Amino acid sequence: MDRKRIVITGLGGLCGLGTDAAAIWDGLRNGRSAIGPIVQSPLHDLKTRTGAEIKELPDHGIDRKQLVSMDRFSLLAVIAAREAMRHAGLTSDETNTYRMGTVVGVGVCGWEAIEENYRAILLEGRNRAGIFTVPKVMPGAAAGQVSMNLGLRGPVFGATSACSSSNHAFATAMDQLRAGRADVMVAGGTDAPLVWGIVKAWEALRVLSPDTCRPFSADRQGLVLGEGAGMAVLETYEHAVARGATILAELAGAGMSGDASDIVAPTVEGPAAAMRACLHDAGLAPEEVDYINAHGTGTKANDQIETAAIKRVFGAHAHKLSVSSTKSMHAHCLGASGALEMIACVMAVREGLVPPTANYREADADCDLDVTPNVAKARPVRVAISNGFAFGGTNAVVAVKAA
């Protein structure tokens, strides 16, 4: 198949582990968990007060006129996108602005603004909502704000598919580049779910851990929510070479599927189908994959089902792979998770180092792959795949390989 190669030339991100991509990778490679007591957000009347917060935002210099129209999830996306563009050595101007775009994945949108308005109207007796409420809360706001801040006038839109939103954003951004609609796409995801209504809703599902996230460990008790954003600059190989860019890795392919089964309970075959489709799109044999960044939420059923799906796709090679869930460290940042996990995959390929599954304590016979417990593993990583499996059975998997 003769088609354009897509490469990654810049990374940006922030989450509980740190406020730039380098700090995030440093935390991941050292097995440091950012999960702890939530202190920044007012979470009264909740059983769960554990999460992975960004303790302090970096100095960002974003103009106040733009800030007043941004909810936190959009602000995080803009900060991450600006870092990614700086890392890639790119700026937009009149010669390239219509050839540069952005796709931003979002899971839960602008709930900070929603709650502010509920309090103002229902508790404080105000008679109207804030003037910027609609542009703050809409799921596509993050993509629009990134576009405005960076001057990107090519394809601009949001992707929302719950916890696989980032991987869908990467896949659709890659499609724009392959189709010739752009030369550069800034893609990733963002979410800021540590607000009362969102945590309360997740409590009702009875899937939140009371202490920390232990993916694949026999004593795992559930997931932990976190906030963050991650962005990657994607370019056609020809465009990157022509401008002399440093190529970090190649985004080799993507695969998507739908379970068409249950709104919350995943199947084995849906995730397996997405992994197969990703390998096919990337032109890879299963035996060529060295590392899987697992969806790995830390719930009993999800980790067991993901293990079964990996075995179904990779057969005997499944036991030669390195697997880990970095959600054990940055927590489940919903629509941002896949973008933070992209940082992990790119850096694993570049450094030959598999980040660990932190907090692991007990082996589980139903999760019997090499899950890289607690300590990073040095090994050549030519190819890494990242799994994203979401409520609704919306699955998206992306493959990264050495350029």
- Determine the average pLDDT of the residues in 158-166: 98
Q: Find out whether 33 and 328 touch, Cβ atoms under 8 Å.
A: yes
Rg (CA), the chain: 20
User: Residue 103: beta bridge partners?
Assistant: 157, 187
- Phi then psi for residue 306, to 5 deg, are -65, -40
Instruction: Tell me the domain boundaries of the chain.
Output: 7-242, 252-401
CB atoms within 10 A of CB 210: 11
Q: How far, rounded to the nearest angstrom, does the alpha carbon of residue 164 sit from its chain's CA centroid? A: 8
Distance CA 350, CA 403 (A): 9
d(CA 68, CA 111): 15
Extended strands (E) in 20-106: 36-37, 50-51, 100-106
pLDDT for 334-352, tens place per residue? 999 999 999 999 999 999 9
pLDDT bin (cut points 50, 70, 90) of residue 237 is very high
Active-site amino acid positions: 163, 295, 332
pLDDT of residue 360: 98
**Which pLDDT belongs to residue 47?**
82
At 395, list the tokens. 């699955």
Confidence (pLDDT) at 286: 98
Cβ–Cβ < 8 Å for 221, 214: yes
pLDDT range class, residue 97, cuts 50, 70, 90: very high
- List, for residues 81-94, the tens digit of each pLDDT value: 999 999 999 999 99
Q: Where are the beta strands (DSSP E) in 237-335?
A: 249-258, 291-293, 322-324
Of 38-52, 231-245, 298-312, 374-388, the one with minimum mean pLDDT is: 38-52
Amino acid at 170: F
Is residue 24 within 8 A of residue 268, CB to CB? The reply is no
CB 171 within 8 A of CB 398: yes
Distance CA 76, CA 191 (A): 8
> DSSP of 87-136, one letter per residue?
HHT----TTTGGGEEEEEEESS--HHHHHHHHIIIIIS--SS--TTHHHH
Q: What tens digit of pLDDT does each residue of 3-26 get?
A: 899 999 999 999 999 999 999 999
Q: How far apart are CA 184 and CA 154, in angstroms?
A: 9
Percent of the chain predicted with pLDDT > 70 = 99
Distances (CA, A) of 155 to 111, 139, 172, 179: 26, 16, 10, 12
* Residue 296 pLDDT > 80: yes
* CA distances (Å), origin 196, targets 32, 45, 53, 173: 26, 9, 14, 32
The third-level CATH classification (topology) of the domain covering 7-242 is Peroxisomal Thiolase; Chain A, domain 1 (3.40.47)
d(CA 61, CA 336): 22
Give pLDDT, residue 40. Answer: 75
pLDDT, mean over the chain: 96
Which overall architecture, per CATH, does domain 252-401 show?
A: 3-Layer(aba) Sandwich (3.40)
pLDDT at 287: 98
DSSP assignment letter at 58: P
pLDDT bracket for residue 39 (50, 70, 90)? confident
pLDDT at residue 45, rounded to an integer: 73
pLDDT bin (cut points 50, 70, 90) of residue 141 is very high
| Equal CATH topology for 7-242 and 252-401 | yes
Maximum Cα–Cα distance across the chain: 64
Q: Look up residue 362 and give its amino acid.
A: E
The whole-model pTM stands at: 0.97
